[in-house]
Amino acid sequence: MNAKTHSEIRFLAQHLLHAGVSPLPDRDRRLIARVARRMHTARNLNQEFEERLTVGNRLADKVAAVGGSWRFIIGFGLFLFAWAAINAVLLGEHAFDPYPFIFLNLLLSMLAAVQAPVIMMSQNRQAEKDRLAAALDYEVNVKAETAIAELHDKIDRLQARIEQCLSGTQGVEPAADLSRA
């Protein structure tokens, strides 16, 4: 048992059971050791990923969330309509940006030039998060395969023991192979 597992066992015994490890029966100590070894099997992907984000990353995610929402699209559509209405209808000959709205076109181009890379940064981060999720899924799958293999071994040993007991005490043929069921 390594030092980390031993300290986790001590922590569990002291904080969960309000007792030290030594007064516990051997069976309980083994159970606590098994729980301590399995404590770190599941990891929270979102929490791990959030801890790695910088201020710029968080800002890019917020810009992407706002820029990719219906609220933004509707609001921006209203802004464009108001711009065109003010310059074409209300101000008429004295418009600060007359039709074909060249200044508005410049502003939209600058907005797109800034917004597109920010959204791409957010999408790249999402792809990175997906890769991390796939890696964690792989870890879980390997642990599950290992646990299933251990269970198969235990069942095979139990089956062999049952067959040994049945054939040794009763003189009866061994039981059918349970692994085929």
Locate the domains of the chain by residue range: 1-40, 41-180
CB atoms within 10 A of CB 159: 16
Which pTM was predicted? 0.51
d(CA 58, CA 61): 5
Predicted pLDDT at 181: 44
Most confident of 24-38, 74-88, 133-147: 74-88
Q: What is the pLDDT of residues 93-135, one digit of tens each?
A: 889 999 999 999 999 999 999 999 999 999 998 898 898 888 8
Sign of the Cα torsion 168, 171, 172, 173 reads positive
